[in-house]
A and B are shown apart, each in its own frame.
Chain A
Amino acid sequence: MTQAEIKLCSLLLCEHFGEIVEKIGTHLIHNGSQPLRMIAHDTGMSLDQVRKALCVLIQHNLVTYQLQKRGLVEYEAQCSRVLRILRYPRYIYTAKTLYSDTGELVVEELLLNGKMTMSAVVKKVADRLTETMEEGKTMDYSEVSSTFVRLADTHFIQRCPSAPESPEPPEAPLPPAPTLVLNEQEMYTVPRLNLVGKGKRRHSDNGDDCEPKAKRQKPNADSKEPPPDDGIYWQVNIDRFHQHFRDQVIVSAVANRMDQTSSEIVRTMLRMSEVTTSSNAPYTQPLSSNEIFRSLPAGYNISKQILDQYLTLLADDPLEFVGKSGESGGGMYVINLHKALASLATATLESIVQERFGSRCARIFRLLLRKKHLEQKQIEDFAMIPAKEAKEMMYKMLTCNIVSLQEIPKTPDHAPSRTFYLYAVSVLSSAGQSQALAQLVANLIERRLHETKENRRLLEKSQRVEAILASMQATGAEEAQLQEVEEMITAPERQQLESLKHNVNKIDASENQVDETIFLLESYINSTVKH
């Protein structure tokens, strides 16, 4: 964990869970795993505050605990998981594209609450959907549960490790910390629930027939007996989302490089291997062209012959996204996931260099990628850039960790005059750019906080005015009165608010976009590290 990443973690925690949680979280990231009392002592916060913060962090899967010897419980922050908060909007958006509004809200609720039981999610989502529907219409629980089941079937959500059943003799002392067990077989099995009901409006004033009755009964039932799926908690399966993002990126890369049809073929191949290939495998399982042909989406009218031509074309492509692994079954094809990620990461880095250092630096960068190791003099010659300028560029890129420098001494005394200095680009190390990117996001957040802080008074005022307006509209005030209130915000103030909104939007959009780059570089690193 680099300094920049820790800083980003603490900003994210502060923004989403408040100062207290931020303090505890950052402390744990800094110091590794620690027991409760040590945390309280070191941070100088009251024990109850620490307890509360830890509960929140554990609930959101940001901290795990482990039972040590002698009954001591140690808490450990999951730093990389904290950074994922930045990607929450993307998870929600993906759920929306795949499973429409219901899927969106299911994933959103799970992210907002860390983990929830299925019955709680279904109830909450049905209520929220009902709220947005026309008067008189309601969302049925069964509809939400079916979306929930589909999300679980496709592994986008999964069960949390469950707490053990309470020990047989209830008098037996409980262990200081429960040991959570993950049942791999049941990870995506949805409990059989008979959820009957409809979403309710918060201010439902249509007090006709059975509605109020059900309402009065429900809370009673809730408080008396636990829900049928009590203790079975669900969480968002981040890795599955990442796998989906990765597939999307590969498909769109193919679409850009070749055409829509070939990207559709690759999409089909990826979809077929979703279940058979683990998310960090370097290759997908080999698929025969016959299999691919059968699985092409209906309505995609291409003949087997054309498909074979496309597959040959894809396999011949120098980027090697698709590889041929055998001749049986009309030709066996795999998708080289690692290679695809490597190409994409390289292209990303190339464009970073181009936009930050100019096209001539990008030329040197590409040169180094092709020739691996080069001396200063060779770079100048091959890139056809005057020596002085080339040196300046190299040093600039060296300080930014874009290129690396290796010394190879001819004699053991490391005398500079008898040493080779070789420049190289290692995509992997420059993928360590993620540090710079973390810094970038941290800067963006800080700037956003600064902007809002500068305009706090104005923001508060506009909120107040809006509240007054809303209450006046509700009571049916006259147009002239409304206008009068509206004019409480002067024209220049309005202008300032507009520009603030514009700035904040821009910063937020940048944060989302930077995270996309972070994702790409990280997936590449992960795909390399594991093999």
Chain B
Amino acid sequence: MAGRGGRGRGRGGHMTFNVEAVGIGKGEALPPPTLQPSPLFPPLEYKPVPLQTGEEVEYMLALKQELRGAMKNLPYFIKPSAPKKDVERYSDKYQMSGPVDNAIEWSPDWRRLPQELKIRVRKIRKQRKEEEEEAYDEEEYEEETDYIMSYFDNGEDFGGDSDDNMDEAIY
């Protein structure tokens, strides 16, 4: 057997190695090629053992579910702004309005966070010219106010790129 070698032997002709080494005996048909992915839910050969039970497990389960529920109601859970409705409904007026897109609902300690994360809340302007504001591009709008602010603020920070930082402290 060793003399003839596995190579170039009849049917197994395409194999570059001794097929017997992988457990296919002489004269046995090669397994058919696999043409499809393995099943998504393959049958279980061994049934899983039951889960642990007991007070500890029960309590931890309750804690897990409570925690998940609690997290959903905290301000850290950022809900995407509600999609625009197809038609304006009468009842919309009485629905609780969702969070404003650019307002943060909790109060982070800004001393611990990079300056650039500070979100500018535009309350005063909003009341005055609500419609115009929406037309503004975010960046343009900021830069415009930056200029005014730095101009009318103290003169010390005038010029240079330091006023880029200053405006955030003002808001």
When distances are taken between beta carbons in the complex, the residues of chain B under 8 Å from A58 are: 112-113, 117
Docked pose: A529 CA to B77 CA in angstroms: 36
Q: Does B92 contact A (CB under 8 A)?
A: no
The interface stretch among A427-435, A473-481, A482-490, A503-511 is A503-511
Q: Is the CB of A18 within 8 A of B111?
A: no
The interface stretch among B65-73, B82-90, B127-135 is B65-73
A231-B109 contact, Cβ under 8 Å, with A176-B165, A358-B46:
yes
Q: Is the CB of A508 within 8 A of B64?
A: yes
When distances are taken between beta carbons in the complex, the residues of chain A under 8 Å from B156 are: 171
Q: Does B144 contact A (CB under 8 A)?
A: no
Docked pose: A505 CA to B65 CA in angstroms: 9
Q: Which residue of B lies closest to A180 (CB)?
A: B112
Q: Is the CB of B67 within 8 A of A391?
A: no
Contact with B along A173-205 (1 / 0, CB 8 A): 111111010000000000000000000000000
Q: Does A92 contact B (CB under 8 A)?
A: yes
Docked pose: A173 CA to B150 CA in angstroms: 13
Q: Is the CB of A166 within 8 A of B111?
A: yes
Docked pose: A21 CA to B78 CA in angstroms: 7
Q: Is the CB of B63 within 8 A of A513?
A: no
Closest chain-B Cβ to A225's Cβ sits at a distance in Å of 16
Contact with A along B9-30 (1 / 0, CB 8 A): 0000000011001110000000
When distances are taken between beta carbons in the complex, the residues of chain A under 8 Å from B65 are: 504, 508
With beta carbons under 8 angstroms apart, the residue of B60, B78, B104 that contacts A20 is: B78
Q: Is the CB of A73 within 8 A of B114?
A: yes
A509-B61 contact, Cβ under 8 Å, with A173-B162, A176-B165:
yes
Closest chain-A Cβ to B128's Cβ sits at a distance in Å of 20
Q: Is the CB of A18 within 8 A of B78?
A: yes
Q: Is the CB of A178 within 8 A of B101?
A: no
Q: Is the CB of A18 within 8 A of B80?
A: yes
Q: Is the CB of B111 within 8 A of A178?
A: yes
When distances are taken between beta carbons in the complex, the residues of chain A under 8 Å from B102 are: 48
When distances are taken between beta carbons in the complex, the residues of chain A under 8 Å from B63 are: 89, 92-93, 108
Q: Is the CB of A92 within 8 A of B67?
A: yes
Closest chain-B Cβ to A251's Cβ sits at a distance in Å of 15
Docked pose: A6 CA to B49 CA in angstroms: 28
Q: Is the CB of A176 within 8 A of B116?
A: yes
Docked pose: A356 CA to B63 CA in angstroms: 30
Q: Is the CB of B51 within 8 A of A16?
A: no
Closest chain-A Cβ to B117's Cβ sits at a distance in Å of 5
Q: Does B149 contact A (CB under 8 A)?
A: no
A17-B46 contact, Cβ under 8 Å, with A112-B71, A178-B111, A416-B21:
no
Interface centre among A20, A53, A65, A89 (most CB of B within 10 A): A89
Q: Is the CB of A108 within 8 A of B117?
A: no
When distances are taken between beta carbons in the complex, the residues of chain A under 8 Å from B56 are: 93
Using a CB–CB cutoff of 8 Å, the interface residues on chain A facing chain B are: 15-21, 36, 46-49, 51-56, 58-60, 65, 67, 73, 88-90, 92-93, 96, 108, 111-114, 163, 166, 171, 173-178, 180, 231, 233, 355-358, 387-388, 391-392, 416-417, 504-506, 508-513
Using a CB–CB cutoff of 8 Å, the interface residues on chain B facing chain A are: 5-6, 17-18, 21-23, 45-46, 48-49, 51-52, 56-57, 59-61, 63-65, 67-68, 70-71, 74, 76-80, 101-102, 104, 108-109, 111-119, 138, 154, 156-157, 162, 165-166, 169
Provide 20 A-B residue pairs closer than 8 Å at the C-beta atoms, listed in order of the A residue: A15-B71, A20-B78, A21-B77, A53-B78, A55-B108, A56-B78, A58-B113, A93-B59, A108-B67, A112-B74, A163-B109, A163-B111, A166-B111, A174-B115, A175-B115, A176-B115, A178-B113, A180-B112, A355-B49, A509-B61
Given A17-B71, A510-B51, A512-B60, 4 extra CB contacts under 8 A: A56-B78, A173-B165, A176-B115, A508-B64
